[in-house]
Amino acid sequence: MATFTLTLHPASEGDALILTWGKAPALRHALVDLGRGGDYKPLKPLLQGLGEVELFALSHIDADHIEGAVSLFKAPDLPFKAREVWFNARAQLLAANARLAPEQRVPLGSKQAEKVSEGLAASGWPLNSRFASRVVSVDSPEGAAPLTFAGGLQLTLLSPTDQSLANLLPVWLKELIRAGLRLEDLVAPPPPPADGHVHLGGLDVEALAAMDFKPDQTKPNGSSIAFIAQYNGARVLMAADAYSDIVEASLRRLGASETQRYRLACLKVAHHGSQGNTSPGLLGIIDCTCFAFSTDGSRHGHPDPQLIARILKADPQRPKTLVFNFRQPQTLCWNVPALMQKWNYRCVFPTVGQEGRVALDLLA
Ligand SMILES: [Zn+2]
């Protein structure tokens, strides 16, 4: 029997995601991000158990996605083998920048290596090897068509673009320091301040959904690797922390529109459910009733209530499922029978004792 699952693992306010596909016992896996430094140790036995992954994708350089990889590469013997790694470091940003038209190129930031590239080089795992330019970008020629993996998984790249990669260059050093990823950073810096999240009293879905969409403009998020994974006719959109407009433009290139909505078994909601990464426009061209959120709510108070209201309001007729990998104030506030009945949704939380971990059957 075919298997296709997405498992959210405990990753603090970030992502540590595993896609599994195939027919038992020949199951295959892709690992997307590794959460914060402290999230790696509890995940290690599981990674050891996988033995090998077809793809290890590090979506972008924010600490809540990549710090766990720094922990991974600290020990000389790696607990698993990656057949292929996707990661855009400074060399890839430079290559993307060089491909832009001269008037679109951005000035270069400081040269600085970071810990993950060092670790990857030592691992011997092939980096971005199926892209001739070694840049994981929708503007690389290989990004134009679905990419096939062993066992029959197909990935369609949605983000980043060459421009969104190049735009990270001027702030590369600043972002490395912020994420504690410089080779010189021996201790983790203090966490960034919360992003001005306002705790709203009560949940008025109509009012929340009517609030303006303010697009995320942080440069590392714009450089996120986002893709659709497809197996056995089911698709999941792994949105990382990508920009909504880049993902939407890619979906439209694939033929998605308001009248031909793009069918998804699940949307791994971008940026932990921040209001600025899933626009009404994007919601208007997907056909999806299952939304997965990876965050414990720390630091930024994700998911934003405006976004969940936007999702509910976008499709009031069909039953929807909200999947949360942590019980926390910003998720428990939606687990209210009156709200669930009125807006036709249910909430999925981890099994008690398994906080942070939820497995979703994408073929169900
Ligand atoms: Zn993130």
Residue 250, helix vs strand vs coil? helix
Q: Which residues contact 263 (CB under 8 A, 6 or more apart)?
A: 235, 286, 287, 288
**What's the CA-to-centroid distance between 301 and ligand 1, angstroms?**
12
CA 160 – ligand 1 centroid, Å: 15
Tens digit of each residue's pLDDT (9 = 90 or more) over 264-316 = 999 999 999 999 999 999 999 999 999 999 999 999 999 999 999 999 999 99
Whole-angstrom Cα distance, residue 261 to residue 42? 39
255 CA distance to ligand 1 centroid (A)?
Answer: 28
**What pLDDT is attached to residue 178?**
82
Ligand 1: centre distance to CA 72 (Å) = 18
Domain count, the chain: 1
Task: Give the pLDDT score at 67.
Answer: 94
CA of 23 to the centre of ligand 1 (A): 31
| 261's tokens | 């909505």
Which tokens hold the place of 243? Answer: 């920009």
Give the pLDDT confidence of 146-179 residue by residue, as tens digits: 999 999 999 999 999 999 999 999 999 888 888 8
- Domain holding 323: CATH number? 3.60.15.10
Q: What average pLDDT does range 195-216 have in this prediction?
A: 76
- CA–centroid distance, residue 62 to ligand 1 (Å): 6
User: pLDDT at residue 186 above 80?
Assistant: no
- Ligand 1: centre distance to CA 221 (Å): 8
Give the Å distance between the CA of 64 and the centre of ligand 1.
Answer: 5
Longest dimension (CA), the chain: 56
Closest CA to 68 of 88, 78, 224, 235: 78
Q: 60 C-alpha to center of ligand 1: Å? A: 9
Average pLDDT, the chain: 93
Helix axes 115-123, 63-74, angle to 10 degrees: 50
- Give percent of the chain above pLDDT 70: 95
Residue pair 31/47 in contact (Cβ under 8 Å)? The answer is: yes
Give me the helices (H) in the chain, please: 37-50, 63-74, 90-99, 115-123, 162-166, 172-179, 205-209, 219-222, 244-253, 280-283, 305-314, 329-332, 337-343
- Residue 187 structural domain: 2-191+199-361
Please, which pLDDT band fits residue 112 given cuts at 50, 70 and 90? confident
Using the mean position of ligand 1's atoms as its centre, give its distance from the Cα of residue 56 in Å: 17
Ligand 1 centre to CA of 81 (Å) is 24
Euclidean distance between CA atoms 152 and 46, whole angstroms: 23
Q: If pLDDT is split at 50, 70 and 90, which confidence band does 194 have?
A: very low
Give the Å distance between the CA of 143 and the centre of ligand 1: 23
Distance 55 CA to ligand 1 centre (A): 19
What secondary structure does DSSP assign to 60-116, as a single string? Answer: -S-HHHHHHHHHHHHSSS-SSEES-EE---HHHHHHHHHHS-GGG---------BHH
Q: How far is the CA of 338 from the centre of ligand 1 (A)?
A: 31
241 alpha carbon – ligand 1 mean position (Å): 6
- Residue 345 CA, ligand 1 centroid: distance in Å: 25
Centre of ligand 1 from the C-alpha of residue 35, in Å? 9
Statement: residue 202 has pLDDT above 70: no
How far, in Å, is the centroid of ligand 1 from the Cα of 242? 9
SS3 (DSSP) at 22: strand
Instruction: Write the pLDDT tens digit of every residue in 207-243.
Output: 999 999 999 999 999 999 999 999 999 999 999 999 9
